[in-house]
Structures are given as structure tokens and as C-alpha cells.
Amino acid sequence: MKNIKLIYLIAGVIIYLQTSCKKFLDIDAPKNSLSSAQIFKNDETATSAVTGIYSDMANSGYASGGNASITSLCGMSADEFENYNFGLVEFYENTLHAQNTSIYSLYALPYTHIYTVNAILDGLSASKGISPPVRSQLEGEAHFIRAFCYFYLVNLFGPVPLQLNSDYRESRNHPRAPEAAVYQQIIADLETAERLLTDTYVSGERVRPNRAASQALLARTYLYLKDWQNAEKYASLVIGKTGIYDLVGLDEIFIKNSRETIWSIFPSANTNSQDGNLFILQATPDYVSLRKNFASTAFEPNDKRKTAWIGNYIDQTGSYDFPYKYKVKSSTTISEYSVVFRLAEQYLIRAEARAMQNKLTESASDLDQLRRRAGLLPIQTSHPDISQIQLLNAMQHERQTELFAEWGHRWFDLKRSGLSTAILSPIKSDWKATDILYPIPVEETSRNHQITQNDGY
């Protein structure tokens, strides 16, 4: 009974908080809602306001791991997946239009969560009924979520409006902020989160961000900004938490609460991850499979990741490889959570940051942590005198094989390295250099005339 009441409480909280962004995003008005005073009356209801965002992320859209997620859509835009669904063909062929409904979802849902977070921060500030430890935790999570949403918005769409309060009347007509300003806000939010959060997972599971999650996203953010020293610094902070995090076996990484997991999203009720549900093939694919030559060209001989992480389905229509990092397609017994940040990425971030600072021995050592796990010869053994360029090329390859089918890493890596056109134009006849950014949804440019469209659309 208590769990049922909590479900209704969370639903009511989310309905109320998302009402504040109704006119900004043209969201239908709820039939009923809780008041701000009710939501922030005590620790339990205030906590439900924050954890309800994670439930919303798991259900559908950009963070879900499903067919409308960043993982799926950006994998289509890059060179990871084959497409079997008419609704995804514009991503696969890089022929997107501003009217695409999935583009609207990628843009609108993060802003829904940003406005929800802004309302939470306002409510926490005004409340007298929240205990100090819970207040710090919730404020830290709120700042982390806002930074997380803006990280993907700026990398998918480029300059985007910065909405930092819950009053749509004040912010609904903001122009697009320069990318530098968006990144500045991301860093400010993450530094606040790092200060407010602790290394403890407050729920006992790795499904609510902690200090390490903020440091992991700071490391990635600084990597994308080419601030190599800070990227190395923050990745090292996470890697150094050896009592909490460790590299685990290839078949253990995506199990719930794995020691490699820094932050994961608890799945929707009665399911495992949407990633597994989308990718694992038990019939002819109707959404995605891996590109036909991915397994044969991306992996070195004897790479254990190829056998552990790639499945194959054969029927009368053909043979289809699929991502098999998640082992359960669907089950009422939940054994896997959708992993957002994991330790392996931090080794890759630090390796790249060190290589760019000409710390080649240390960089190769970081890469070799992952290569040993994959059963491959360490670079320090096979190429003891490796050059910086050779090491960076090896790093690009290592990121492709370690992080495929996860959170659009391949799409963003090609973009930030300037390799998108070289890699994608030979396999995508309609490719244009401007395709590295998605179009701003027509709903946004029509509503806010200060919003300009990206080049090429």
C-alpha cells in the first residue's frame, strides 16, 4: 500500500512541476495537480519530485534507451546501425527535417526536465520543511540533471536557449545562447552538484547521481571543450575512487548496481532496460540492427568484446548482428539497469586528455586497462614507441569498440574530432557537412521568432 501511495505521489508531483513549462513547450494541461507548498512540505514529497524525473526519463524519449532515445537516433545518424523503420529513415540517411517528431522529442523533453528542475530549485529555496542533508542532496541532483540535459541539447543542436528559472513568461522568448555560454552553465551546475553531493548512493542503488556522477560529466565536458588538464583531473578523481568503482567482467557491466556503473536509470515497471528490449533480436528486425560490416571491421582479432557484446539472429530473410551488451530483452524480474555513466569511459577520457598533453606512456596505460579486459595485447607491449598520432588513432578505435550502442558516443566522437564527413559521406549519399547538428524543431522556431534555424535546414 505504501508503494502504491508513493507511485501516485510521484505522478502528482511530476504533473504539477511540468505544468510550469506547458506554454513553453505546448504541453497539455494536467487535469489535477499538487500545489508547490504540498510538494515541498517534507523530505518525502520533495524527494519524489526529483526521483520522478528519473522515472520520466526511463519511460520514453531521449534518455530511455528505446527507439526514440539518443542511443538509437544518434547511432542511426552515425555508422552503427541499419534501419528497418520508416519513422527512423531520416536519421539513418541524414535527411532530417525540422518537422520530424523525434527531433521535437529530443529537444522538448530535456527542456521539460530543465523546467521541472528549475521549479524544484525554486520550491526547495522557499521551503522550510526540508532537512539540511536532504536539501543538499536534492539541490545537487537538480543541478546535475540540468547540466545533463544541456550537455545533450548543445551537442545535438548547437546554440540553444538558456532557461534558468521556472517562469516561462520571463524566458519563453529567449534567443539561442552561444555554445560557450551553455557550456559555462553546464560547468557551473556540475561544480555546484559536486559540492552538494557526496560519494554515497542515497537509495542504496546506483540510480540517483552522486558526486562521482557530476565529476564524470565534468570530465566529459572538459574533454569536449579540449581542456585537457581538467578532463584528466576529473576523470582521475572518479578512477581514484577504488573503493566504489572498478572495471568488471564484460558480462557483468550492465547488471544492476555493477561496480563499473557510476549512474544508471532504473527501468520502467516490469521491464529490464529499454536498451535490451530494443536491440535484442528474436525475430526479423523492425527497428535496428548493427551495420552489416561492423563486427568484421571494427574489432581486432580475438577481441572478447566482439563475442560478448554482439549477438546474431538468423531467419529466412537473412543474418542480423545486434548489440548484446544487455542480455535480457524483457522480464518482470529486473536484473539490468540502463547505464548512463561507467568507469571505462573515464579511462578513455583520461587516456585522450593525457595523449593530447603528450603524456604518451600514461595514456597508453589507461587504454591498456580496457584492452587487457578485452583479451588484447597491451599497446605498451605491441607499440612501446608509439607516436602521439598513432595513439590518438588507437584511442578513436578503442572508443568505437568499447562504447558502441551507448548514448550516441560514436556520433559525438566523429563530430568533435572533425571526422564526420570523412567517415560518413562514403556510406551516406545525402550527407552534408551541416548534418553534424540536428534541426531546431519547427514548433520552436514558429513559437519563438528569436530562434534561428541551423544551417542546412
Query: Is residue 310 included in any domain, yes or no?
Result: yes
Q: What are phi and psi of 219, to 5 degrees?
A: -60, -45
Instruction: Tell me which DSSP letter residue 435 carries.
Output: G
Q: Is 384 helix (H, G, I), strand (E, B) or coil?
A: coil
**Minimum mean pLDDT range among 5-9, 51-55, 292-296, 371-375:** 5-9
Pairwise CA distance, residues 306 & 331, whole Å: 25
One-letter amino acid of 147: A
pLDDT at residue 319, as a whole number = 96
Read off the pLDDT of each residue in 294-312 and give the average, rounded to a whole number.
Answer: 96
What residues form DSSP beta bridges with 323?
Answer: 310
- Do the domain assignments include residue 15? no
**What is the C-alpha separation between 209 and 201, in angstroms, rounded?**
7
Q: State the Cα angle at 320 between 315 and 323, rounded to 5°.
A: 135
**Domain annotation covers residue 66:** no
pLDDT tops 80 at residue 357: yes
More reliable by pLDDT, 433 or 330: 433
Q: Does residue 29 sit within a domain?
A: no
Give the model confidence (pLDDT) of 1-14 as tens digits. Answer: 344 344 444 445 55
Tens digits of per-residue pLDDT, 58-101?
988 999 999 999 999 999 999 999 999 998 999 999 999 999 99
State how far the Cα of 65 lies from the Cα of 59, in Å rounded to an integer. 9
312 inside domain: yes
| 325 falls within a domain | yes
Other C-beta atoms lying within 10 Å of the C-beta of residue 273: 31
Q: Is 334 a member of any domain?
A: yes
The total of other beta-carbon atoms located within 10 Å of residue 301's CB is 6
Of residues 278 and 4, more confidence is placed in: 278
Q: What angle do CA 423, 342, 287 make, to 5 degrees?
A: 50
CATH number for the domain that contains residue 389:
1.25.40.390
All three cell numbers of 54, joined, read: 528519473
What residue numbers bound the domain in which 391 lies? 245-417
Give the HSE-up count for residue 232: Cα atoms under 13 Å, Cβ half-sphere: 15
How far, CA to CA in Å, does 213 sit from each of 206, 219, 226, 355? 10, 10, 20, 24
Task: Say if 231 falls within a structural domain.
Answer: no
Count the domains in the chain. 1
